[in-house]
Every structure is written in structure tokens, then in C-alpha cells.
Amino acid sequence: MQQRVDPDRRGMPVAVGVALLAAATATTLPVARWGDSAVVLLVVPAAVAGYVAGRRLPTLAPAVLTFTLMLAALLPTSFLLPDGAPLGDWLVSVLIALLAVVAPWWVGRYRFLRAEQRESDAAVLAERAQEEERARIADDLHDTIGHELALIAVQAGALELSPELAHDQREQFRELREAAVRASGRLRDVVRMTRPDGPSRLTPAGGVDLDALVAGARDAGMTVRAELDRRVLAEAHPLLAELAARTLREGLTNSARHAAGAAVDVELVADPGGGFILSVRSAAMPEPGTLDAPAHAEVLGGPGAGHGIPSLRRRADALGASLDAGPADDGFLLRLHAPARPAPTGSRAAEPADPALRSNARAVRRRALQASVVPGLILALALAGFVVVQAVTVTQTAISSATYDRIDLGTPRSELSGVLPAGLPAPAPVVAEPSAPDGADCEYYAARDGWLHFTDATYRLCFREGVLVEKTALGEAP
């Protein structure tokens, strides 16, 4: 069966993705330099191109390299263009790239990773569903066919000991009993190969009645004393009722297989705290040396055990019930303590999600974090550019209000050479400026009182024949 491909997950050639990102990033300098309404419209296709590249470009490295090279190329380009503030233009273009190109690209990249995770999760869940279906089949094989084989062995064993039969007839029943035992062992082997590790599905099989199980065991020649509170299962959740039936069947099967002839006591009572307690007690333990090792281990639920009791434990744990199995009063006790409603607790509730799904989620988080490094680096680059611009402005073009106040009219320009920085280009472009004195040459300085002082105010100092004739504080433009 061909796997369906998400249309948004179809990749694009790396060259196409790089071209889209390069073109989108290249538009940020014109927007920063000539930000009129017509040029600003370039932001829309740039954002679309960034998103599409993030959504379709399968690898991260080409995008990182493209952003790095393009933003690095914008810096000398800003200096080569005339009539502007090179660092300021580049800084604004970096901020525009971050908001208009990189942010949409990151959103697209995140959606790409999420779609990739969904596909991987779907594959994992499909595999788990197949494993759980095999587990359900294996459990049903063990619980139903194994139970019937055990009863056949009990009936054949009873007939084998009948004094009314001829010797050859007893031999036939002995062979029948041995064949049933061999078939039971082969069934365990088949179940072991068929059933994967992990809990089986919890869907109730339905149609199993405790009275029918007890009656079937008695018909097979077993001695079963049963005290069943039938109201308990009538009020129980179907999953818990099914668990009770599976537990009783497992207890009767083990008693018939490993303690033939021993009486079995079955008790089902309501738990005062809610739920019910089912006990299956064999009156005698198997004699040492009479059991094969795997079967004996299954009865005791210890290392090397078969699938019956371990499977019941997993099922009980998943439903919030508890299952105890072990020696008790010279016999063997299988006890189920179930709640009123399924409520997963214990080790099953403490387990985290499926390891494969956790791995997929961690991979997506890691790759999304890697992708977020790109916007973070661009933001850091923009902040670094801002620091550079601010440093150049304060140290090379600005004077403080205190310095401005100390400068007196009539001071020769030569005496101010150690006080005044290089200054701004003339005229000051962002402030309203009155006419300069006749025959005077004016110099402009940013009015900054420190690194964190932001203002468009400008100081104008006008000199005639090398002497200060006017000082004016030009305010911000309206």
C-alpha cells in the first residue's frame, strides 16, 4: 500500500529554497532605505517566500547560510549607496529581515517539523496497532484453547485410571492425555513467537460467564467449590468483568494442568471500598519433580513464566487492578482485586508515553530549537548593530547638554577642537532649522546626554571667521 504524502510536506530543491530566501532578504534594504508605500508592499511577497521556504526546504543549513551571507552583504551595500546613514540603513534592514522574512520562515519550518513528526507518529502507531492485534490474538489463544486443552487432559487422565476399561483402552486415553499436554506446550511456544512484548489490547472479548467456566471445569472432572456474588459482575465495568473471567479461567487451567485431582475454591465478593475481589485457591500444590520447568514457573509467576499470569498482571495493572499469585496454605492462590471503575494506577500509570513517540517529540523540539537559533542570531546581530550605531553617534557626532552650556559665544573655533567631535552632515535632516547668520559656517551635533539618551534634537554651532557667533538647540521635527 502506497503511503499518502502530505502535499505541504513535499520538499523543494535546495537551490529554489535558497533563491527564495535570498530574494526575500534582499528586499529589506530597499524597504529600509526608501520606505514609501510602494516599496513597503515588497514585504508581503518576501514574507510569503520566507514561509514557503521554511515549509518546504527539508534541511536547515542552507537557510542559515543564506541569511548569514545576505545580511553580511547588506552591510557594505549600505555604505556604497549614496545619501543615507549606512549603519542605520543596515540596522533597519536587519530588523525588517527578522520580522518580515525570518519570522515567517521559522513558522514554516516549525510546521514542516510538526508534519514530519505526525508522519513518523502515524507509522509508529500503525506498527503498535499491529503488535497489539497480535498480542490480542496470542492472549485469546492462550486463554481459550489452552483452557480447553487442559480440560481435555483432565478428562483423559480420569478415563485412564478407570478400572472398567481394558489395558489397551487405558493406553489410548494415556496417549490422548499426553497429546493434549504436548499440544498445550506447543501452544505456549506458538504464543511466545506470536505475541510481542508489551500489554495486550483491553477490548472485552465478551460472552464469558463465570458460572459457565465453573460448570465446564466440573464436567471435566474437577472438584470446584464456588461462591459467586453475581451482583458484583452485573455492576462491574465490562473490562473488569472480562478481567475476572480471564483470571478464573487461568486459575482453573493451572489447577487442572498442575494439581490434577485437587479441590479448587472460587470466591467472588464485593470489596467494601468499592470493586470486587476474586480468589481462585487450589487445595494442593504440585508435587516437586512432577512438573516441567516452564509450566511450573508459569504457575508461580516467577522467572521463566509463561504468558498467562504475566499477561493478566499487565492487563490488571492497566485497569487499576492488582493481581497476586503464589503459595498459600499448602496450596496456590490467585487473587484479583479490582476497583469499581477502570482507573490506571501503579506502574502502568507511572510509565511515560510510547518511547518512539517521545523520541519523535524530542527530535522535533530539538530541531525547532535549532531553527530558532537563526532568529536569535539575527536579533543579536541587530542589537550589536544598534550598539555600534549608538556608540558611533555618541562618541563621534554628539555633545552633551553640559558641554553645550559651557560653550560661550565669541570662543575661537581652535579652542573648541578638543571639545567638539566630528559632527553631523549639514544640514541636519530631521529637525526644523532657522536661517544661519550671514557669512557663517554652521556645524551640527547630536544632542545626546549618554548612551541611553534617544532624541532627534540637534545642536547647531555657527562660526564666522573662526569665531562662534551663534549656538542654537534645534528641537525635534513636528
Give, for all 478 residues of the chain, the pLDDT tens digit: 334 444 455 568 889 989 999 999 888 888 887 877 767 788 889 999 999 998 888 888 888 888 888 888 888 888 788 766 676 777 788 888 888 888 898 888 888 888 877 777 766 666 666 666 666 666 666 666 666 667 777 777 676 667 777 777 777 777 776 677 666 666 665 666 555 554 444 444 444 578 888 888 887 778 889 998 888 888 888 878 888 888 888 888 888 777 767 889 999 999 888 889 999 998 765 444 433 333 333 333 333 344 578 778 877 887 888 999 888 777 889 999 998 887 655 444 444 456 766 776 777 777 777 777 767 777 777 777 777 777 777 777 888 888 999 999 999 998 888 888 876 665 545 556 788 899 899 988 888 887 667 676 888 999 999 999 999 988 754 3
Confidence (pLDDT) at 262: 81
Q: Are 315 and 243 in contact (CB under 8 A)?
A: yes
**CA–CA gap between residue 289 and residue 291 (Å, rounded):** 6
Q: For residue 28, report the phi and psi dihedrals to the nearest 5 degrees.
A: -70, -30
Summary count for the chain: helices (H), strands (E): 17, 9
List of E strands, 194-321: 224-228, 264-270, 276-282
If we measure between CA atoms, which residue out of 247, 188, 182, 256 comes closest to residue 219? 256
> How big is the CA angle at 304 (ends 302 and 310), to the nearest 5 degrees?
60
C-alpha cell at 123: 507509522
pLDDT digits (tens, 9 = 90+) for 17-68: 899 999 998 888 888 878 777 677 888 899 999 999 988 888 888 888 888 8
Of 388, 411, 394, nearest to 464 by C-alpha is: 411
What pLDDT does 277 receive?
93
Cβ count near 246 (within 10 Å): 26
The 10s digit of each residue's pLDDT in 398-447 is: 888 889 999 999 999 988 888 888 766 655 455 567 888 998 999 888 88
C-alpha 418/C-alpha 377 separation (Å) is 39
User: For 163-196, b where at least 16 C-beta lie within 10 A, e where not — what string?
Assistant: eeeeeeebeebeebbeebbebbeebbeebeeebe
Residue 150 near residue 257, CB atoms below 8 Å: yes
From CA 156, how far away is CA 170, in angstroms rounded?
A: 9
Of residues 116, 66, 67, the one with CA closest to residue 96 = 67
